[in-house]
Structure 1
Amino acid sequence: MDVLLSRASTDRLADPAPSAAQLEQILAAALRAPDHGRLRPWRYIVIEGEARPLFAQKVVDSMLRLDPQTPEFNLTKRRTRFATMPMTIALGMHLRVGHKIPLWEQEMAVAAGAMNILNALHALGFGGIWVSGPVTQDPVLATELGLAAPHRLAGFIFVGTPDNPHPAPARPDPAAFSARWQGAPVTFSADKD
């Protein structure tokens, strides 16, 4: 429980990234996520080493494709982040449109797998953060990664070793987000803001 309760996302990441053996363990943990219908919708594309700047340019190209007026500052920031992270795992969703298992359940299985990745990274002493943005909706970028429609991206996990680890941020009180149902609609103190 201490591992789960101490996990926090961070993008302050440096080398090393997980070794091949550690990455295999991390992805094995990802595949333990709930998967109604055993559709196995997870697809993980690992970007590291010399592929990083190439992929960073693909992300910038996607940003410009989606919004040709994207400010140079934003393009430079994204290019730098994707080019310098020790490792990026693109989260692919291998979706089965028209299947009896609804798309939203397939997408949730991918999200659960991503959370397992973040927990496994932390358990092994690494750090990570799940990022998204409009580029995850770009079918051209998805296809460049091997995810032709109807398959899509669910985002990216930046991976590395936390640089200057800092204490986990204070978390909200679970009582504010939970209630016991006893036959009538419940209320949550978190909703009173």
Structure 2
Amino acid sequence: MSNSTIEHLLKRRSVSANALGDPGPDRAQLEQILTAAARVPDHKKLAPWRFILFEGEARDAFGRVLAEVCREEEPEPSAIRLETEAKRFLRAPVVIAVISRVRTNVPVPEWEQVLSAGAACQNMVLAASALGFGVNWITEWYAFSGGVRRALGLEENERVAGFIYIGTAKEKPEERPRPTLEEIVSAWKPS
């Protein structure tokens, strides 16, 4: 691993979706990001994930879908809440839904397939940030909503692994506390 790669991994920081703006990635950069996302561990080459892009007017149109689903699924949402949902995908120039799709009748456990989709999300985050963009991997209510699942046309074996927001950071995010290695690492010892 090159020094610049390890430095990037050690300094990478999520940028709040509210702190993202234009410009987003161009076609070539977006292709690099998506290609990197597809280069993850994938036992038996199942590609247990797919990507749905939201750019331009599609972000506004899907925001209207989110507001309508919120109205249907939540008891008496406020006007402010509905407006927030309607503008949710306008926070970044590009939003990518990463869809986990578990294959059955294959010799690969479901858990491995789900982890592969998570790895696709992380590779997407790393690729976008390596290209200089601000990025955030989000799973909020709409990642788990039945109405949103239907609006995305998800099959029974599919679910949202996350929405990746990509744009230019309006401000540098502050570092946050991280666990020390002593808190999270242990050595196995025979009994």
- Given the two structures, how large is their TM-score scaled by the length of structure 2? 0.87
Task: Measure, in 1, the Cα distance between the counterparts of 2:159 and 2:138.
Answer: 15
Query: What's the C-alpha RMSD, in Å, of the aligned pairs?
Result: 1.8
- Aligned residue number for residue 120 of structure 1: 127
Which of these residues, 156, 159, 169, is aligned with residue 149 of structure 1?
A: 156
Quickly say closer, same or farther: Cα 1:67–1:98, change in 2 above 3 A. farther
1:116-148 CA-partner distances (Å, limit 9, x unpaired):
111111110001111112322234422332322
SS in 2 for 1:22: helix
- Aligned residue number for residue 8 of structure 1: 13
Matched, 1:86 2:97: no
Indicate the percent of aligned positions where both proteins have the same amino acid: 36
Cα pair 1:17 1:87 within 8 Å, conserved? yes
Cα pair 2:13 2:173 within 8 Å, conserved? no
Q: Name the count of aligned residue pairs.
A: 184
Task: Measure, in 2, the Cα distance between the counterparts of 1:39 and 1:143.
Answer: 24
Quickly say closer, same or farther: Cα 1:98–1:59, change in 2 above 3 A. farther
Give the 4+ runs in structure 1 shifted more than 4 A.
Answer: none
List runs of 5+ in structure 2 lacking aligned partners. Answer: 1-5
List runs of 5+ in structure 1 lacking aligned partners. Answer: 185-193
Within 5 A, what are the aligned runs for 1:181-192? 181-184=188-191
1:150-192 CA-partner distances (Å, limit 9, x unpaired):
22212211110111223433422223111111124xxxxxxxx
- Given the two structures, how large is their TM-score scaled by the length of structure 1? 0.86
Cα pair 1:139 1:148 within 8 Å, conserved? no
- Aligned residue number for residue 75 of structure 2: 68
Which of these residues, 115, 130, 133, is aligned with residue 108 of structure 1?
A: 115
Task: Measure, in 1, the Cα distance between the counterparts of 2:92 and 2:173.
Answer: 18
